[in-house]
Amino acid sequence: MRMDWKVLVVATGLTLAGTMGAGMAMAQGPAGAGATTAASSSNSSSGGTHSLNPIKWVKKTPKTDNSADASADRDAKLTAKLQSAGVLAADKDVKSACSTFKDVVDCVAALHVSHNLALDFNCVQADVTGVHTGADLSGCKGDVTGKSESLAKAVHTLKPDANAKAEAKNAEKQAQADLNSN
């Protein structure tokens, strides 16, 4: 009885190995003369050629200059809106005023906070971005360290008696509203 069990296990193993080997050979596709033709006809019958490379599955769309046009259009509308509200000086535009900021929304919030609290925008800009432009910063309160800081901290530095967090939050809401309306 023990011998029959061993024979059964060996026979099952050989059967599985044979089945798997045949499946692997079939998965490799045709070989020999005419294999390229047979492989291409099997691909075209399944709906065309299909790459097994996952990088080729991602559709690549070429970048167009529409984003630059949209950005310029947004900047022009935003400039007009901020100038009419008195937030941006008449001789400035958003692009030049925001050149040191990473995001336009941060710049517009800094413009609003400087307008709302009657602060020098150059001081707010230098504190928030950490970038010193050629502007005169001698009238700025506190140290202009060259390190970037939050808008609330800049407000606290420049106008300690103001509620810095509330003013920064209000300016950020105004900036977001300005950008959403364009």
Higher-confidence residue of 7 and 124: namely 124
Number of other CB atoms surrounding residue 115 within 10 Å? 18
Does any domain span residue 72?
A: no
Does any domain span residue 34?
A: no
Say yes or no: 111 and 25 in one domain: no
Does any domain span residue 175?
A: yes
Does any domain span residue 37?
A: no
Task: For residue 169, report the phi and psi dihedrals to the nearest 5 degrees.
Answer: -65, -40
| Each residue's pLDDT tens digit, 136-156 | 777 777 666 668 899 999 999
pLDDT band at 45 (very low <50, low <70, confident <90, very high): very low
Contact 142, 125 (CB under 8 A): no
Does any domain span residue 80?
A: no
Does any domain span residue 67?
A: no
Does any domain span residue 45?
A: no
In this predicted structure, what is the pLDDT of residue 39?
55
In this predicted structure, what is the pLDDT of residue 94?
92
Say yes or no: 95 and 162 in one domain: yes
Say yes or no: 19 and 103 in one domain: no
Total number of domains constituting the chain = 2
Say yes or no: 89 and 25 in one domain: no
Does any domain span residue 38?
A: no
Burial of 139 (0-12, 13-18, 19+ CB in 10 A): exposed
- Distance from C-alpha of 97 to C-alpha of 105, rounded to nearest angstrom: 12
DSSP string, 72-114: HHHHHHHHHHHHHTTSS-TT--HHHHTTT-SSHHHHHHHHHHH
Model pTM score: 0.61
- Parent domain of 154: 85-181
